[in-house]
A and B are shown apart, each in its own frame.
Chain A
Amino acid sequence: MAAEDLPSEFDVVILGTGLAESVVAAACSRVGQRVLHVDRRSYYAANWASFTFNALLTWIQEIQAESLSEEVQDRSSLVEEGEELIYLSGSDSASISNLQVFCYVSEEAEEEEEPANTTEEEEAGAAGEGAAKEPSETESAGSKEEEAGEAAEGDEQAAQEQGEEPKADQPQPSAPPSQSEPTRKKISYTQLVKEGRRFNIDLVSKLMYSRGSLVDLLIKSNVSRYAEFKNVTRILTYRHGSVEQVPCSRADVFASRQLSVVEKRKLMRFLTSCVEETEEHQAYNGRPYLEFLREQQLGDNLQHFLLHSIAMVTEDTLTKVGLASTRHFLRCLGRYGNTPFLFPVYGLGEIPQCFCRMSAVFGGIYCLRHSVSCLIVDKDSNRCKAVIDSRGQRISCSHFVVEDGFVGADRKVATPTRLLSRAVLITDASVLPGDSEQQVSLVTVPPTDGRPAVNMVELSPSTMTCIPGTYLVHLTCQSVGSAYEDLSPVVTRMFCMAECQDEENRPAVLWCLYFNMADGSGVEPEGHDLPSNVYVCSGPDGALGHEHAIKQAESIFLKILPEEEFCPPAPNPEDIIYDGENTSPTSIGEEEEEEGLTAAGGEGEEKQQEQQEEETSLQPEE
C-alpha cells in the first residue's frame, strides 16, 4: 500500500492487463524474467474486466464523462544522447462507444429498511448511491440514463426514445411447473444496487472451448488452480419466433423430442461422418458449407442446427471452414459436459487475473493506476531501452508489451476499425425455462434481414455472476450499426421490456446496457511504426473462443524468449504439506524445484481423490 518507488530495472515491462498481456506476464515471470506489469485503470483486465453492478455503473459514468487524457508532460529531460522519445496515448477511451443504458424497474425503494449504504466497493459507492437515491422524476427519461451522475445528465446523445414506458410493476408470467415459488419475485433497482456486489458483469462475452487453447494453457500452466468452471449446459437456437434446444451430444439426440426418428438417425450418421475428412468433403472444400449440407438431404431442422448452432458459421462460409468448425465442436463435446463449452465461475474477468496472480507469485510486480507515458528509444538500434512511467521515473527494460489502445494512432498500421456490438441484460427468467433454474445456455440467433448472427449467453446465478432470481444475458455480434441498432431488435423479440402482460411468457428485462467495443481481431503484434522490441496486444475479438488472444500471447512470448518454454507447470502448493503432528515436510521446499512435482507425497494424492468425489475433476490428455 505504501507508495514506494519501483525498481528501476526490469526485463519486461507490460502496460495493460488484458488477457494477452496477462498471459505474457505470467509466461515471462514463470521462466525467471523480471516483469513490471502496470495498468492505468483502477481495475484489472482492461476491456476483459468484469464488474459488480455498482462498479459497472461507475465504469459507464467514466466512459460517458470521456475522461480527458492527462496533459502530456515533457519528459525530454530524461533522455540521454542518442535516444529519442515516443509518447504513448494517455487513454484508451476510443475503444468503447455508443453506450446506452435502459432501466425497466422501479427505482424507488419499496421497503426502505436501511439507507442505500454501499460500503462495498469504494469506487462504486458513489455511483450506486447517487443512482438509488435519484427519484425517477419522469418515468421515461428518468429510467434510462439513470446510472446517475452529472455526467449522464449532461450527456443526451445516448438517450434514445423507446416505445415502451418503463414502469414499476413487473410482469408475472406463470412460472414453469418445476419452480418452487409460484410467482417471480419483484426485483427493484434498489435491490440491484444493494446486492450489486454479487454481480460479475463481463465486458466481453466468450465461452471456453473445452479443448481450446485457453483450457489447454490453463491446465498446462497450472493457472487453472485459481479458477473453477461451470459447464454450459445447453445450446439453444432462436428459430421461427421461439427458442429451441439444439441436440448435440448423443444423449441429447436420443432424448430430443423435436426430432423425428429419421432425423435422429440422419443427424447421428452425419456427425459420425464429419469426424474424418472424406473425399466427398474435399470435393466441397471450395463451395459453401450450406450447399454441402443441402446435398446431405438433412431437412430444414437439422440444417439449421448444423449451420448456425454447431458449426456456427454463416450461409456463405466455405465447406472446408464449416467442417473444421464442426469437428472442433465435436472434439470438445463430452470432455466435461454435454456441450463443448465451459464458463468461469465469477465471470471471464477472472481469467486475466489468474494469469496476473501467477505472474505475481513468480515475482512479477503489479501496479494499477499507474501507466507508462513514453518510451525511450535507442536511435542506432531502434530498440526501446527504457520507459518513463506516469510518475516520471525512468525504468529500463529489454522488452515492452503494450495494449493496443495505448499506442497512438499515428504509430499503428492503419486497419479498418471494426466494432463489436454488445448488450448486457439483467432479466428475471430464462429464455427457455427448464427442469433446472441453474442452466447456462448459449443461444445462437441466425442472421436476419441483413442483421448479423448474434451469440447470446445466458448465465444463471450458479455462475456467481448475478443474484438469485435474475439471469445475466450477454449478446454479441459484429457491428453493422450501433450496438442498440444491431441488438435491440433481437432483445425486443425475445424479451419484454416493461410491464407487458406477455402472452408469450417472455422473460422481462430489468436493466440493460448497450455499447460498441473495438474488435481486436485486426490488430497485429508487430509491423507498426514502433521499435522492434515493442509488441502490441489487441483487445478482445468477436469470436466465441479465446484462440486469438492466447495465440497472440504465445507468439509474443516466443519473440521475447525464443529458447524458453511457454508456461511450464507451476509447482502445486498443495504438494507442500506439513502435517500438524509430523514436522517433517513430505516433499519439496526449494524454490527452484519446478519439475518432478508429480512425485507428490501420498497425502497429495489422497487429497486429489477426495476432491474427485466432490467435483468433476478434469483430465488433460497426455
Chain B
Amino acid sequence: MSDALLSARGLGLTFGPITALDEVHADLWPGEVLAVVGESGSGKTTLLNVLSGRMAPDAGTVWYRDPARHLHDLHAMPAPQLRALHRSDWGFVHQNPRDSLRMRVSAGGNVGERLMAQGIRHYGDIRAAAQDWLAQVEIDPARIDDLPHTFSGGMLQRLQIARTLVTHPRLVFMDEPTGGLDVSVQARLLDLIRTLVTRLGIAVVLVTHDIAVARLLAGRLLVMQGGRVIESGLTDQVLDDPQHPYTQLLVSSVLSA
C-alpha cells in the first residue's frame, strides 16, 4: 500500500439493522481500474460513497495520498479541502448524467465549470479546452453552445465524462457509468472510457452490476455481498475461476451473448 492512491482499512457502516459495510479493505493504485461488483444492496454503492468521502463510515479509515505524496485521513479532512479535491484531483461519474450536469448550461459551460472553479479566468482558454474535450468524447465541437437537453443519453454520459476529466484528475469514481444506456451506446462508451483511462493513466473505482463491463474495463475486481468483500483479485481470475459460492452464482447467472 506504500504507493496506493487510496487505502481503505476496516470500513464498517450500518444503517439501523442493515449492514452496508463490514470490515472492508481496499487499495487503489495510480492508473488502475478497480471494479466493485455485486447485486443491489450488496454495499457496492455505499463503498463508493465512503471511498469518495461523500459518506462517513462508522468504523475504519480511508487514506488518500495527495500529489505531494502526503497521506490524509479522508474523513478527517476539512470540508473545503475535500470539496476542492472533488473539483480537481478527483472526479465522480454518476449513473444518471443529469445528477452531475447543469441542464440549463451549455455543453461548453458544463465542461468548463471545473476549470473556472479552479480559478482559470481566460474565456478563450476555457472554450478551447471545452472544444478539445468535446472532441475527445466524440461530441461534435460545433455543439459547444447547445444545451444538454438536446443531447441523447449516450452523449449526456460522454459530456459528463468530459466535464469530469477536464481537470485531469488522478482518480475517478464511476457509479454504473453504462447503466441505463442502449447496448450499442454502452459499447461506444466502454471503448471511450477504456481509451481515455489508459491514455491518461487515470485510476478508477468502478461500481457496476454488469460483469461484462467489469471484465472489459477492470484489472482487478472486488465482489461484494452483504457489505463484505467476499472475493477479490485479478478480474479474469475471479470471473473465470470463482472460489466463493456467491461469486460462482453471480458468474453463472450471466447470460452470454
To the question of whether A and B form a pair in one complex, the answer is no
